[in-house]
Amino acid sequence: MKDKQFLMIPGPTPVPETALLAMAKHPMGHRSSEFSAVLAEVFADLKWLFQTQEDVFILTSSGTGAMEAAIYNLVNQGDKVLSLVIGNFGERWAKIAKMRGADVEIIAADWGKAIEPAVLKARLDQDVNKEIKFVTLTHNETSTGVTNDLKTLNDIIQEHGAISVVDGVTSVGAIQLKMDEWGIDVVVSGSQKGFMIPPGLAFLACSKKAWKAYENCKNPSFYFNFGAYKKSAAQSTTPYTPNVSLIMALRETLKMMKAEGLENIFNRHAKLAAGLRAGVRSMGLKLFVEDDSIASNAITAILPPDGVTVPDIRKTLTKDFDIVVANGQNQLQDKIFRMGHLGFVSERDLITAVGSLEMALAKLGYKSPKGEATTAAIKALI
Ligand SMILES: *Cc1c(COP(=O)(O)O)cnc(C)c1O
C-alpha cells in the first residue's frame, strides 16, 4: 500500500515525522549564527547520547566514513592493529587498517558467536613488548545479530594499554555504551541506525589517549581531519559544509531521545528484541543466535523454516505487509533474514511484525500454530 512501508532492516531505519518535517525546510547558511546555535545544541546532546565529555564530531558520510576517519587519523603505516572479527563489519575494520598499511592481526570468532574475553586476554598478555597499538572491535555486529561484551573487552584492552577503536554504529542509541565510564578510546556511529534520521551523517568521539595517537599520526586524513573537526567544534561549526538538513532532523530526534531517557531507550530495545525472539521461537523457527546472553537488542537474525526460502519470505513481507527485512550478508546470504528493531520502533510495530511474519509464512505453506506467535510476543512484552 502506498506510503505504508515500514523498514525493519538494520538501517536505514524509520524516521519520525517531526524529523522529516525539519528536513523539508530551506537549508540554513552553514556559517550563520542561527545554524551555529543549532550545532551547539546538537553537539551538547550528542555528548549526552555518547555518554562522554569529549567532542562528538559530525562527519558528512555514511558510518564507514567515520571508521575510515578513525583509522586514518590514528594509525601510521606499519603500526600493529589487532582486529576482533565476528562478522562483516568487524572485517571492515581490518580491511581499512590493511589499506592504511598497518600490520593487521585478526582474532575471529565464528559468525553468530561473540569474542571470548579470555581469548583476547591471552593474546594481549603475550604482547609483553606492547607492540599492539590498536584494537578494533564491533560492539553490535549487524551481520549476525551478536553483541560483544564491550565493557569486559575494553577493560582487557585498557589493562594492556592499546587504544580501543569501537564500531558503535548499531549500538549508540540502542544498546548501553558508556564511553567515558568504561574508558573507551574511539566510538564511531552512523545516522541511519539508532539516531532515527536518514543516512548521510557519521559520528566520531575520541578520548584524550586516542588524541595523542592523532598527534603522532604522520599522514592524517584531510577531509576527516580530527584537528580540523575539534577546532571547529569549539566554535560550534564544522570545517566544511555539513548536511544542514540532516542536522536539523537530528536536533529533533535528539530532543525525542532526551525526553525518553537513555535507560528507557535501552530497555525498550531489550524488550522489543525479547518479544521478537519469543514470537519467532513460538513459530518453531530457529534464531541464528540461540544464546540470548549475546543476542543483539538492535537486530535479530532468523533462519527460514524447511521448505520456505529467504527471498520468498522477504518478498511476501514487502508485497503483502509493507515490511522490509534484510537478507543475510556474505556467506549467510539466503541462509538467514535479519529484522532490525532499532531507533523509531515501538511495541505496536513489533507485534505487527511478528503477526505479519507468521501470516507470511502461512501464505508460503508453512504450517505454524496460527496466532500463537503474537501471543508469545505480547507475553514477552508485558
Ligand atoms: C551500518 C553499519 C556500518 C556502516 O555502514 P554504512 O553503510 O557505511 O553506513 C558499520 N558498522 C555496523 C555495525 C553497521 O551496522
User: Architecture of 17-258 per CATH?
Assistant: 3-Layer(aba) Sandwich (3.40)
CA of 382 to the centre of ligand 1 (A): 32
Q: State the Cα–Cα distance between residues 244 and 250, nearest whole angstrom.
A: 10
Give tens-digit pLDDT for 303-361.
Answer: 999 999 999 999 999 999 999 999 999 999 999 999 999 999 999 999 999 999 999 99
Give the per-residue pLDDT at 371: 86
Delimit the domains of the chain by residue range. 17-258, 261-381
Ligand 1, atom nearest to 141 Cα: 13
Residue in the structure block whose three cell numbers are 539466503: 334
* pLDDT tens for each residue of 150-197: 999 999 999 999 999 999 999 999 999 999 999 999 999 999 999 999
Output the pLDDT for position 2. 87
Residue ranges of the chain with pLDDT lower than 50?
Answer: none
Residue 129's contacts (CB-CB under 8 Å, 6 or more residues apart) are none
332 CA to middle of ligand 1, Å? 17
| Whether the CB of 198 sits within 6 Å of ligand 1 | no
Cβ of residue 170 lying under 6 Å from some atom of ligand 1: yes
Output the pLDDT for position 368: 78
Q: What is the DSSP string of 58-108?
A: EESS-HHHHHHHHHHHHPPTT-EEEEEESSHHHHHHHHHHHHHT-EEEEEE
Closest CA to 141 of 194, 93, 192, 89: 89
pLDDT at position 33 is: 97
State whether the beta carbon of 63 lies less than 6 angstroms from ligand 1: yes
CA distance 356 to 319: 11
Same fold, 17-258 and 261-381: no
Show the cell assigned to 209.
Answer: 589517549
pTM of the model: 0.98
Helix axes 88-100, 63-74, angle to 10 degrees: 40
**Architecture of the domain made up of 261-381:** Alpha-Beta Complex (3.90)
Q: Is 375 helix (H, G, I), strand (E, B) or coil?
A: helix
Give pLDDT, residue 370: 80
- For ligand 1, atom 14, the nearest C-alpha belongs to 169
DSSP 115-179: PPHHHHHHHHHH-TT--EEEEEEESEETTTTEE--HHHHHHHHHHHTPEEEEE-TTTTTTS---H
Query: How many Å lie between the centroid of ligand 1 and the Cα of residue 168?
Result: 9
